[in-house]
Amino acid sequence: MWFRNLQVFRLSNPGEPALALVEEKLAAHPLQPCGSSLPSSLGWVPPAADGALVHAVNRQWLIALGVEKKLLPASVVKQHVQDRARGIEKNEGRRVGRRELRELYEATVLELLPRAFVGRRSTHCWIDPAGGWLAIDAAAPAKADELLELLHKSLDTLRILPLKTARSPISAMTGWIVDGPPAGFSIDQDLELRSAENAVVRYARHPLDGEEIPRHIAAGKSVTRLGMTWEDRISFILDDRLCLKRLTFLDILKESTEGQADNEEERFDLDFALMAGELARLLDDLLAALGGERRAE
């Protein structure tokens, strides 16, 4: 259980609500199979083999949103609509207008949905109730949004806020390139610079100690993505929205629990506990490097 991305949020009312109550609330919104006429369905699924909707280890929680979606290629629908429109034109001797084309499209989708394949995916979310962290393993904001929407619906007392820092990520990352990284962090070889006019310069797996980068910054470009490593344990790319992408838990970290699990379930729990503990420390250090949390006024 190792996350690959982090969309990070804060719990405005940190504390540990009753686990049984949270489990009960999530159970009211389980994933239901897509009906014959439904294009998609979403709901909570067990994140681990124990079947619980909230998997708890060392007061750290793991939940998972399941999504089923009918796979209906747009090209297939388009071809069916075109065939029907040509049939109408041939048999009735008239042209099909835009409104009728839309109606044909909607009717075709309804007809094909029951025969479409169903794809399933899941999005995992780590919750640290005591520390006030909530992080979703998603690179795209849309996937995080769909999980948060159902979480709000399931747990209306849980207040979730975006993480706000005293120093903006862009200002901080640009300063780290110029003056060096904060304590505990090192800079890797991935970088994106962007100007106010939206001109972009990207470096991938490239040394960042050349003279051209300071020149770009002096010319007005700012850092919007930066590859970093924390304590020689976790590598990631930080972006201007405070998302951590391409998380890599380094071997020195994973090897610390080698040989401690007797089966897959124990291995899962060890990995999750280790990941949650390390991510909490990383986020605390990153928050400090960004000047601390900016409270809403």
String of DSSP letters for 112-127: HGGGSEEEEEEEEEEE
In this structure, are residues 176 and 226 in contact, taking their beta carbons and an 8 Å threshold?
A: yes
Question: What are the angstrom distances between the C-alpha of 284 and each of 132, 182, 293, 296?
Answer: 11, 13, 10, 19
| Residue 90 confidence (pLDDT) | 82
| Residue 15 confidence (pLDDT) | 66
Map out the domains of the chain with their CATH numbers. 7-69+120-157 (3.30.310), 74-114 (no CATH), 169-289 (no CATH)
| Residue 227 confidence (pLDDT) | 97
- The neighbour count for residue 147, using CB atoms within 10 Å, is 24
From CA 126, how far away is CA 82, in angstroms rounded?
A: 47
| Residue 136 confidence (pLDDT) | 98
| Residue 165 confidence (pLDDT) | 96
pLDDT tens by residue, the chain, 297 residues: 799 999 999 998 766 668 888 999 999 999 998 876 677 889 999 999 999 999 999 999 999 999 988 877 788 878 877 888 888 888 888 888 888 888 888 887 777 767 777 788 999 999 999 899 999 999 999 999 999 999 999 998 888 999 999 999 999 999 999 999 999 999 999 999 999 999 999 999 898 887 899 999 999 999 999 999 999 999 999 999 999 999 999 887 777 677 777 788 888 999 999 999 999 999 999 999 999 998 655
Q: Judge residue 139's burial from the number of C-beta atoms within 10 Å of its C-beta, 0-12 exposed, 13-18 middle, 19 or more buried.
A: middle
Which residues are within 8 A (CB) of 184 and not within 5 positions of it... i.e. 6 or more apart? Answer: 230, 231, 285, 289
- Considering only CA atoms, give the Rg of the chain: 24
Length of the chain in terms of residues written: 297
In this structure, are residues 101 and 77 in contact, taking their beta carbons and an 8 Å threshold?
A: no
* Whole-structure pTM value: 0.83
